[in-house]
Chain A
Amino acid sequence: MASATDTAELPVVAAAATLPTDDPHPETDGHRWGMVIDGDKCTGCQACVVACQSENNLALNEENRVIERRAKTWIRIERYWEGEWPNAKARFLPVLCQHCGNAPCETVCPVWATYHNPDGLNVQVYNRCIGTRFCANACPYSVRYFNFWEPEWPSPMDRQLNPDVTVRTKGIVEKCTFCIHRINRTKRQADRDGRPVADGEVEPACVQACPTTALVFGDLNDSESKVSELSHSKRAYSLLDALGTAPAITYLKKVDPSHVDEHEEHGH
């Protein structure tokens, strides 16, 4: 049994000492990158998917890979049908890494290959990954993909790989990076010019490709940015909100014209 003097010599542990993942939005003087996806604008055209595949050196998904459920698409369009034919309505939901503030994937990695960086990004360090796939199993959004094979491209596609993105080898997990190479490039250019990064200056490939501007990317720490404004919309919701993952991606509910009269406030 410890005496009073023994306990007095113990180092005082600050009450605020918490795990890095305990605070979903730690205060930083930097950026907190986030995205808003407007369900009302998304037409399910898959342009973002194609843009992502080519930007991030993702190998082609052959039919068998899809059937085996081992296809890799960092961003995918989930399609839902609402109602019965002939009054069925298609609903599209682009799903990519949510860059959760409370990421379930980060805490399960035994080698710290995935972590939260000061910019609020959920980063995957490919060199550290040993391929346990704990993270892919922990992810409630199923947006982490394991490399079951060495990536291969039919000629001449192997000559159009993006030099800013490494080609991931077999046996590791990969996922959406919010096009971190573009973020870094823009930050470097802004630093070189001696100015802060402007709102809308960073555009991940999916955002750039979106023909209806359904995807908007920006800094959530900047209260005047487009994403900050949109994420406070009345239509805003998060995917699987009840899990408390605090995603960096906010979805905006689709406005249904047939329901507008019933709900006066549709937030449009």
Chain B
Amino acid sequence: MLDSFRALLPRLSPKQLIVISGLGAVLGGGAIAPVILLIVLGAMGGTITGPPEQPIAFDHSVHVGKAGIACEFCHRGIPVVGDTQTAMSAPVSAAATIPSVEQCMFCHAVVATNSPEVQKIRAAWETGTPIDWVRVHRLPDHVDFVHDPHIRALAEIHPSFTTAQICATCHGDVASMTEVEQVRALNMGDCQGCHRENSAPLDCAVCHK
């Protein structure tokens, strides 16, 4: 049986065998290297790439940390905790939304008008061009993430939390960030871990669209 099988294989000299096995080792190693790289990258998880460069050096640590402006004052798509029907958060959208230039001008028509960064906003306001902010947190297209139920659930779990603390659960301590960056992996395992801990739904169709 073994002999008949061997008869099918080519007859090789020891030298040929060494060359072939050497080639095999090199090519095999080449094939394994990307796999190892993928495993390492996978273990690192998520797409955290550091803070992106923004068109205007907007400093959250000044606005949130020093001035103490609430998250939902500018990001109007998110609901205000405990007050679901105020004018400020009336049209609750899935996304927290980036404030319009007009919203910046509410304050910066009079506040810090000498700053070169604020003058960029004024220029955008006067010419009617929107600012091309670089999005920091972006979930894949197949994820149906809506802020509202998450904020309400976190408010229920941590009754003492302010909105800023609730937001910090996923977005990190934005109040101390000069440049906003993604701090959590926000991949499926990250979402599921939190959903498991808090007995939130784990049905695929709740998040996947």
Contacts and interface: CB of A to CB of B under 8 A. Distances in A.
A268 interface: no
Contact of A121 (B92, B146, B205): B205
A192 B192 CA distance: 22
Nearest to A121: B205
B205 A123 contact: yes
Instruction: Classify chain A: how many residues form its interface, as a range.
Output: 10 to 19
Nearest to B146: A188
B59 interface: no
Nearest to B188: A127
A184 interface: yes
Contact of A192 (B84, B144, B203, B206): B84
Interface in B103-129: none
Interface stretch (A90-98, A159-167, A213-221): A159-167
Contacts of B141: 166-167
A127 B142 contact: yes
B149 interface: yes
Given A181-B209, A191-B149, A192-B84, A117 B144 contact: no
Contact of B204 (A123, A164, A167, A188): A123
B120 to A, nearest CB: 29
A125 interface: yes
Given A115-B204, A118-B203, A123-B204, A184 B148 contact: no
| Residue among B84, B92, B206 with max Cβ neighbours from chain A (10 Å) | B206
A180 interface: yes
Interface in A146-170: 164-167
A237 interface: no
B144 A164 contact: yes
B204 A125 contact: yes
Contacts of B148: 188, 192
Interface in B186-209: 203-206, 208-209
Tell which of B205, B206, B208, B209 has the most Cβ of chain A within 10 Å: B205
B21 to A, nearest CB: 34
A134 interface: no
Contacts of B146: 188
Interface in A174-190: 180-181, 184, 188
A123 B49 CA distance: 33
Given A166-B141, A188-B146, A192-B148, A125 B206 contact: no
Q: Point out which of A119, A121, A181, A184 has the most chain B C-beta atoms below 10 A from its C-beta.
A: A184
A115 B204 CA distance: 9
Given A126-B208, A181-B209, A191-B149, 14 more contacts: A115-B204, A117-B203, A117-B205, A118-B203, A119-B205, A123-B203, A123-B204, A125-B204, A126-B142, A166-B141, A184-B205, A184-B206, A188-B146, A192-B92
